Structure 1
Amino acid sequence: MGRHRPISAPTVLLVMSLLVVALIGGCGSSTSTAADRSDPALASEESTTSSSSMTPPTAPSTSSDAVPATESPTAAPTPTIAPHLPRPLSPGLAGKVIVIDAGHDGGNASHPAEINQLVDAGNGVTKACDTTGTGSFDGYPEYAFTLSVAQQLAGTLRAAGAQVVMVREDSSGWGPCITERARIGNEAHADLAISIHGDGNDTPGARGFHVLVPVATAQNATMVPAAQRFGTLLRDSFPATGMPVSNYLGTNGIMARGDLGGLNLSTVPKVFIECGNMHNGDDLALMRSAAFQQNAADAIAAAMGSYFG
């Protein structure tokens, strides 16, 4: 075997230096790789955050913000107004005395002292003489609607041979009081009387017509059965106008009322009709139209014809 040559000190120092450099270089490379390489969990979170901030969710939104700014809101459908189709009237109307009471009056609002005076309501209590009535939110008043229907009803009944008594002929006055409205029918010995109104109910979705019939008091007891019969005939006749039966008051379009002086004080058969809800957009669209007003008059006349046979 040959002898080993001794390693000089300078050579040892050189080798050791190279080893130290190699080790330092390896540590530096390892640190750099850790910085460039993401932890799988962190990488997933970053990816999700980035994606959700740039890509809108695919699920539909129920908020109004989901509607593009360029789209217009969908307009509510306009209710269908039935064309005016005159109804054949019973010959039984000829010679009958009919009192038509158009609700409220145009001067009521300017006569608060007069219409707020207390009068007998026929049920043991007193009530205001009259009220201003209701109307649409944009100013179409109940008293104008009721007079229009009343005038057209009067024309239809007169053409059928009836004798018509109007509680009011225009909208220039105030009242009359509920006591006077009942007295007019009583003194005319009316065969039938009707008070025409429009409602003003703010319950969401409340719409439709309803008929108000009396309950027996000391003064009206003898006429109540006849009034209730006419009320049923009117309820059955009125849907042909296109106005639905009330969904918020009454039962099947009929409501008995014991607090209305116009019914309590009447000795002749009398009912009220709320032709629709003027605070409901669909009802109001009908009530504003001339065709509906004529159809309402015809429906009332047809019910009267059926009543007299």
Structure 2
Amino acid sequence: MPSWRASCADARPGRRPWCSRWSRRGGCSRSRLPRARCGFHVIRPPDRRPWTHDIVRPSSRLARAVKASLRRSGVPVATYTAGGDGIDVRSDLGTLNLSDVPTVVVELGNMRHPADARRMTTQRGRTTYASALVRALRRFLR
């Protein structure tokens, strides 16, 4: 009988590996991600009439402000998603599609990458993220 196992890893110290989909061939698809996949990306809505047409321009401006602020703070841009430029356009997220105000989703890192996990789990790293996001929002609201 084949053994069921997961080979996904959570790089945070003291965490057990976890997996959302088990297989007989060595874990889930997440386990096949290269370790170099790190960094942030910002997701903004596309122009989808009638849902997002009125917020697409300001959402794009907000996405650019968030990206610029995070980069200035030294957070690396994810090169493995969003075409490698740090801004992705997604039409499948209700958070974006159903908003009446400018909106973005920010994925700040990949917990399976040691440097990202360290940044996300330390006070200094979280302060870096928070400060960058506050600066981006202030810039956007000017």
**Fold shared by both chains (TM-score > 0.5):** yes
Q: Which has the larger radius of gyration?
A: 1
Matched with 1:215 is 46
Deviation at 1:266, TM superposition (A): 0.6
SS at the partner of 1:212?
A: strand
Mark the CA change 1:201 to 1:229 in structure 2 (over 3 Å): closer, same or farther: farther
1:131-188 deviation per Cα after TM superposition (whole angstroms, max 9, x unaligned): xxxx935259xxxxxxxxxxxxxxxxxxxxxxxxxxxxxxxxxxxxxxxxxxxxxxxx
SS at the partner of 2:88?
A: strand
Higher relative contact order (CA 8 A, sep 6+): 2
Once residues 292 and 240 of structure 1 are traced to their aligned partners in structure 2, the CA distance between those partners, rounded to angstroms, is 14
Matched with 2:140 is 307
Letter paired with 1:293: R
Once residues 257 and 233 of structure 1 are traced to their aligned partners in structure 2, the CA distance between those partners, rounded to angstroms, is 18
Letter paired with 2:98: L
Mark the CA change 1:277 to 1:308 in structure 2 (over 3 Å): closer, same or farther: same
**Structure 2: which 5+ residue stretches go unaligned?**
1-8, 18-29
Once residues 261 and 211 of structure 1 are traced to their aligned partners in structure 2, the CA distance between those partners, rounded to angstroms, is 15
Letter paired with 1:222: D
| Alpha-carbon RMSD | 2.1
**Match for residue 94 of structure 2 among 244, 250, 261:** 261
**Match for residue 279 of structure 1 among 90, 96, 112:** 112
Deviation at 1:216, TM superposition (A): 2.0
Once residues 276 and 263 of structure 1 are traced to their aligned partners in structure 2, the CA distance between those partners, rounded to angstroms, is 20
Q: How does 1:1-309 map to 2 (within 5 A)?
A: 136=10, 138-139=15-16, 203-204=33-34, 205-217=36-48, 218-251=50-83, 252-309=85-142
**Structure 1: which 5+ residue stretches go unaligned?**
1-134, 141-199
Matched with 1:29 is none
Once residues 246 and 254 of structure 1 are traced to their aligned partners in structure 2, the CA distance between those partners, rounded to angstroms, is 9
Q: Is the 8 A contact 2:38 2:113 kept in 1?
A: yes
SS at the partner of 1:242?
A: coil
SS at the partner of 1:270?
A: coil
Q: Is the 8 A contact 1:241 1:292 kept in 2?
A: no
SS at the partner of 1:306?
A: helix
Count how many residue pairs are aligned between Structure 1 and Structure 2.
116
Q: Is the 8 A contact 2:44 2:59 kept in 1?
A: yes
Once residues 57 and 103 of structure 2 are traced to their aligned partners in structure 1, the CA distance between those partners, rounded to angstroms, is 10
TM-score (norm 2): 0.74
Sequence identity percentage: 30
| Structure number having the greater helix percentage | 1
Mark the CA change 1:253 to 1:202 in structure 2 (over 3 Å): closer, same or farther: farther
Q: Is the 8 A contact 2:118 2:125 kept in 1?
A: no
